[in-house]
Amino acid sequence: MAQKKKLYALTGKKKYSFNLPLTETIKIGKRHYKIMIKEDEKHGTYILWKNRRYPVEIIQSRQNKFEILFNYVSYSFTIETPFSLKRKRYLDNARGKIETEKIQAPMPGKIIEVLVREGTEISRGEPLLILEAMKMQNEINCPHSGVVTSVNVKNEMNVMKDDVMIEIKIAK
Amino acid sequence: MDIDGKYYRAFKERLEKLDAQSSKEKIRKQHAKGKLTARERLDILLDEGSFEEIDAFVVPDTEGIEFGKVEKNYGDGVITGHGKINNRLVFIYAQDFTVMGGSLGIVHARKIVKTQEMALKMGAPIIALIDSGGARIQEGIASLSGYASIFHNIIRSSGIIPQIAVIMGPAAGGAVYSPALMDFVFMTSYTSYMFVTGPNVVKEVLNEDVSFEELGGAEIHAKKSGVANFIYDDEENTILGLKKFFSYIPSNNVENPPRIEEENKTPGENKKLLEIVPDDPNKAYDVKEVILNIVDKNSFYEASELFAPNIITAFARLDGKTIGIIANQPKVLAGVLDINSSVKGARFIRFCDNYNIPLLTFEDVPGFLPGIDQEHSGIIRHGAKLLYAYSEASVPKITVILRKSYGGAYIVMNSKNLGGDFNYAWPTAEIAVMGPEGAVAILYRKELAETEDPKKLKAKLVKKYRDRIANPFVADEKGFIDEVIDPATTRTKLITAFEALANKWVEVPSRKHGNIPL
Amino acid sequence: MKIKNILIANRGEIAVRIMKTAGKMGISNTVIKTAAEPSAMYLSLADNVFDDTESVSEIPVFLDIDRLIHIANETGADAIHPGYGFLAENPYFAQKCLDNKIIFIGPSPDSIYKMGNKTIARKIALANNIPMASGSKGQIPTEKDAIIVARSIGYPVIIKASSGGGGRGMRIVRKEEDMPKMFRLASNEADKAFSDPSVFIEKYIENPKHIEFQILGDKFGNIIHLGERECSVQRKHQKLLEEAPSSALDSKLRDEMGKIAIKISSAVGYYSAGTVEFLLDSKGSFYFMEMNTRIQVEHPVTELITGTDLIEQQISIAEGKKLKLVQEDIKLAGWAIECRINAEDVQAGFSPAPGKIEQIIMPEGDNIRVDSGVKTGSVIAANFDSMIAKLIVKGKDRKEALKNCKHALDKVWIKGTKTTLPFFRMLIRNERFLNGTITTSFIENELDNYHVNSEYEELLAAWMATWLFVDENLDESNLKIDAEEAKNLSPWLLNKRISRH
């Protein structure tokens, strides 16, 4: 893949860039620091960086999308090439950034009450439904203001982790 | 040779003209749509410097065109030739949207046909990179005849060489049938579409408003219609996926799939497998976890992931050798068999059977999905496809029953008497004519109606049923399965079994072809 | 009466905790093996294990009074320790033990009933001039009544489950239009959690600190307090971090509150260990909230600064022994902090994150105590609470305790599930927390995110993601294909294949 000299790891609005071939060093300022992925029975997989072990787990890896638990904090990245990044920007513009947010079940459980219907206008932080899991009734709140476009669950229904329960069209 | 001579100079000039044809402006336009050019796509897909173009200089047939006009160009909107993917020969044609919108004229079609014929002679796979506005209207019926020849060739090659379509732009009208006839379809999200009639016609005829994306975008075809087997967010990842796909399949129906040995061998015993399947038969789990803990590391490539997710169809490797996996997915609809999952499974099995890819089935199925909708839509004939495909397949076939295995679904999912070579069961398996709850309700209807505490009696009877009937040991003792195995050592067991089956051959009665219930 | 064998009607870390003290006192223990977690850690440490995995009952055994009594009789246990949660505050359970001549290690059924029913507890507190937030006189039967009562008290109000505890069945209502929904939610949740949908309403005290007093009383009417704990770090009434003592109390206020705590305990003839909870507002006024008639999750911080083993006290009180301690014996020495390391996803609003613990390494040291019921390989199941471990750290003063806590947190190693560690790592660096002025609304109102943010760590994670992408997609060595071998077929097969095609 001769034309791919670089890869970007995108998270939110931040972009980290890495040269190819990818080396086991990270440049901070002018210095290069060694970074290593290791594994042993006692610690599992970890990253060795400046003589310290950091726990690392791959929560999800799907095509070019990764969710990584690094030092107990989860980070989501999409890996882009210079061209795919350009394409992404073009498509984001073309689609006018109307995006739907899928509300997925954070854990397996039972739906106690659905508090919205298709077409409900809802603002950030308002409760969408009550999900019972681990003996607790959890209010699932709306992460963005918008309009409910589809409700895929009913009261008393059991859901699995990551099941899409509700979809919301995000208001700009 | 006189390099300043007339012919050599003409030769050089022609090359320059071909280069100039892909002007910066045209490339920019293509890029601005978020798309790569046909040549860029070939560059990413094929091993460096391996591409050999054929018919680069043919020109469109302009004779007899009485309506509209056809600009003169080299190549007629399609690049054809052969190259290598990971050092293995493939034939390829890539439609070039920058030349007359990649529209298909008779010359364009002839180039494709020529490539198809060569691929078949050489026993090498053929890849179609599709980015075309459709039939070239100016050329009239000639372009339609072009399509027909292409389709005919696809069907002639079907089952002999793998044929893969990659949709990277529009594919509309009759053109959609060329991907539809091929073995697998890749699509790139947001910039590729497939439909028989476009949104304009839908609007005119039915007065329905629908966007390109909603009518025939990648997501729709991946989730709803099942037309697209693999979708990716961008073209580079689509091509990377295609390369990955090729690492699992052989070049033709005589060869075996390639072998890719692991550098660090995955251990044969894995205790994690003891913990995934819950003892409670009503609890769901992700069967992918079972699969990933058995197959070689980094070797799981799922086909039609988003369509009928209650069944999983995937390529994987065991000890470096390709296998095709069919698995009920208890996480979705309890892994039930319905119309879509039956058809999805059947088509995957037939591909594997064609290309000498052994089949591994993981079974945890409560049965067929009941209901008016399913019955009226023909679950009988669609379910039969899965049954047919399993039985017909002559490649090595192994089944591992993880948990539920009831009734008709038990038979369908590659049971012993359907031709399963090795049928294993985990100790958690429940093999019976029906589930305990159902069986108890029928057999003890009277007792349950009369007792004071039916819940308690039912729980007791269900437990008894499980102990006596719905377990793997009864089937084992009667020989309906070959062995109850320790989940932790499933990998070793499977590797050994597939090794023993490597030279399996089944004589089939001579016939033109069977009559699968389509 | 000397106890010989305690049936522990609980699981997880508290089962392990009770075993430790029982062992020290020469008492044997019996635990119950359930189908839900047949390989839990507490089972491997127990003296006797009763196997209940075959049970077909729909009620979990730890909530099944008759079954527990049956198991105690079966196993020859002469006492039952209920731990916390489950049946720990169920008066019928305590009574049933009594009826069956089994010692219930806890207070009398009567005390549990009176304090457990929040409306009765309120009445008792009122009768004894205990300072309290204004609220409804009794249970609120309907949404309409709720609205009427709330109007008379003035918003904001808090709805609480009559038989509640641990934050379940609680809802704050700030405006009237939210009342019907919140009432339903609270009542619903209360019903699920405590099999009792009744709720009552109180004035909601804005931005208070949560201060609770540890009480010990014997069967001879002697009651002392062991100082306070501050549990202001809580989210939706779930405590996350507790410390003892509290930086908000001086010895005068401590005396005053301690006396009130003893007073209300005496009013119900309390014996065993108990906790009296107060809200303390910014002006130094405090309000009685409720009394928990059981051992608390956060009891270790009190143990560390008083040098008392609270479980030991519970047992010896239950045996009918007199308290050896008098109030003057109780000296608070040093500072202790407890972090509840739970399997929760702090970035998703502390939602439970059940999973399997792939590796766990907890720090060790003189100033560190770890109470845990899990080990490598344990499963944090969705049907129980999400506790992985309690990390309890001590220092000579708050500053030193905080420093020790920070170091200890850095040494924790847990793989396999998301945890509350990033929250504590953030908290331990937060100015407001460090100077000890936070209130119970801190997490919800003052924090933008619940985890530590480090640019370097994000960069390292980004590198990891890129590495994975390269490894899966671009690393050609992954796809080193031996194409020749594919063509190398056995003559048997080759011959057959070719002749068919």
CATH architecture of B273-434+470-500: Alpha-Beta Complex (3.90)
Write the CB contacts of C1 (distance below 8 Å, at least 6 apart in sequence): C103, C319, C320
- Tokens at residue A143, please? 């992460």
| C-alpha to C-alpha distances, B21 to A130, B71, B92, B99, B104, nearest whole angstrom | 61, 12, 21, 9, 18
Amino acid in the structure at residue B217: G
**Residues present in chain A in total:** 172
**Average pLDDT, stretch C338-347?**
94
Of B43, B233, B284, the CB nearest to A3: B43
Is C12 at the interface with chain A, CB within 8 A? no
Amino acid in the structure at residue C207: N
Torsion sign across C-alpha atoms C163, C165, C167, C173: positive
Domain boundaries, chain B: 35-246, 273-434+470-500, 436-469
Of the pLDDT bands very low, low, confident and very high (cuts 50, 70, 90), residue A2 is very low
- Tokens at residue C361, please? 């390494």
Positions of C annotated as catalytic residues are 294
Question: Looking at CA atoms only, how far is residue B234 from chain A in angstroms?
Answer: 6
Q: What are phi and psi of C423, to 5 degrees?
A: -65, -50
Lowest mean pLDDT among B109-123, B260-274, B325-339, B388-402: B260-274
Question: Looking at CA atoms only, how far is residue A134 from chain C in angstroms?
Answer: 5
| C-alpha to C-alpha distances, C87 to C9, C84, C97, C161, C166, nearest whole angstrom | 8, 8, 12, 16, 13
CB–CB contacts below 8 A, B to C: 71
Let me know if C83 is exposed, middle or buried by CB neighbors in 10 A (0-12, 13-18, 19+).
Answer: buried
Q: Do B34 and A91 touch (CB under 8 A)?
A: yes
Residue B407: CB atoms within 10 A of its CB come to 16
Q: What is the pLDDT of residues B400-437, one digit of tens each?
A: 999 999 988 999 999 999 999 999 999 999 998 888 88
Q: Which domains does chain A have, with CATH numbers?
A: 6-94 (no CATH), 100-170 (2.40.50.100)
Confidence check: pLDDT of C342 > 70? yes
Asked if B398 contacts B498 with a C-beta cutoff of 8 angstroms, the reply is: yes
B274: nearest CA partner in chain C = C377
Amino acid in the structure at residue B211: S
Evaluate if pTM is beyond 0.95.
Answer: no
Residues of chain A contacting residue B233, judged by C-beta atoms under 8 Å apart:
63-64, 84
Q: What is the pLDDT of residues B120-133, one digit of tens each?
A: 999 999 999 999 98
Residues of chain B contacting residue A160, judged by C-beta atoms under 8 Å apart:
284, 331
A146-151 vs A121-122, strand pairing mode: antiparallel
Write the CB contacts of B222 (distance below 8 Å, at least 6 apart in sequence): B187, B228, B229, B230, B231, B304, B305, B306, B307
Q: Report the pLDDT value the prediction gives residue C453, as an integer from 0 to 100.
A: 81
Residues of chain B contacting residue C477, judged by C-beta atoms under 8 Å apart:
263
CB–CB contacts below 8 A, A to C: 152
Question: Looking at CA atoms only, how far is residue A163 from chain C in angstroms?
Answer: 15
- Rounded to whole angstroms, the Cα distance separating C241 from C226 reads 19
Torsion sign across C-alpha atoms B58, B62, B67, B73: positive
Asked if C289 contacts C114 with a C-beta cutoff of 8 angstroms, the reply is: no
Instruction: Name which CATH class applies to B35-246.
Output: alpha beta
Q: Do C486 and B258 touch (CB under 8 A)?
A: yes
Confidence check: pLDDT of B136 > 50? yes
Q: Which domains does chain C have, with CATH numbers?
A: 5-105 (3.40.50.20), 134-203 (3.30.1490.20), 209-446 (3.30.470.20), 457-501 (no CATH)
A100-104 vs A65-70, strand pairing mode: unpaired
The ipTM assigned to this model is: 0.82
C480: nearest CA partner in chain B = B260
- Rounded to whole angstroms, the Cα distance separating B483 from B494 reads 12
Let me know if A143 is exposed, middle or buried by CB neighbors in 10 A (0-12, 13-18, 19+).
Answer: middle
Give DSSP secondary structure letters for C39-92: T-HHHHH-SEEEE-TT---SS-GGG-HHHHHHHHHHHT-SEEE--SSTTTT-HH
- Rounded to whole angstroms, the Cα distance separating A15 from A28 reads 15
Asked if B363 contacts B405 with a C-beta cutoff of 8 angstroms, the reply is: yes
Amino acid in the structure at residue A165: M
Residues of chain C contacting residue A23, judged by C-beta atoms under 8 Å apart:
none
User: For residue B179, which of B201, B219, B147, B211 has the smallest C-alpha distance?
Assistant: B147
- Rounded to whole angstroms, the Cα distance separating C246 from C337 reads 10
Give DSSP secondary structure letters for B340-366: HHHHHHHHHHHHHHHTT--EEEEEEE-
First CA to last CA across chain C, in angstroms? 90
Residues of chain B contacting residue C489, judged by C-beta atoms under 8 Å apart:
254-256
Asked if C423 contacts C346 with a C-beta cutoff of 8 angstroms, the reply is: yes
Q: What is the pLDDT of residues C82-113, one digit of tens each?
A: 999 999 999 999 999 999 999 999 999 999 99
Amino acid in the structure at residue C340: R
Q: Is B81 helix (H, G, I), strand (E, B) or coil?
A: strand
- Rounded to whole angstroms, the Cα distance separating B298 from B361 reads 19
User: For residue C27, which of C315, C413, C354 has the smallest C-alpha distance?
Assistant: C315
Q: What is the pLDDT of residues C435-484, one digit of tens each?
A: 999 999 899 888 888 888 888 899 999 999 999 998 888 766 556 676 67
- Rounded to whole angstroms, the Cα distance separating B395 from B257 reads 12
Q: Report the pLDDT value the prediction gives residue B70, as an integer from 0 to 100.
A: 75
**Average pLDDT, stretch B144-160?**
96
Clarify whether B327 is annotated catalytic.
no
User: For residue C234, which of C448, C425, C453, C445 has the smallest C-alpha distance?
Assistant: C445
B321-328 vs B311-318, strand pairing mode: antiparallel
Of the pLDDT bands very low, low, confident and very high (cuts 50, 70, 90), residue A1 is very low
Clarify whether B174 is annotated catalytic.
yes
Beta bridge partners of C246: none
Q: Report the pLDDT value the prediction gives residue B399, as an integer from 0 to 100.
A: 97
Q: Do B247 and C481 touch (CB under 8 A)?
A: yes
Confidence check: pLDDT of B231 > 50? yes
- Rounded to whole angstroms, the Cα distance separating C38 from C40 reads 6
Of A63, A95, A160, the CB nearest to B237: A63
- Rounded to whole angstroms, the Cα distance separating C486 from C484 reads 5
Confidence check: pLDDT of B456 > 90? no
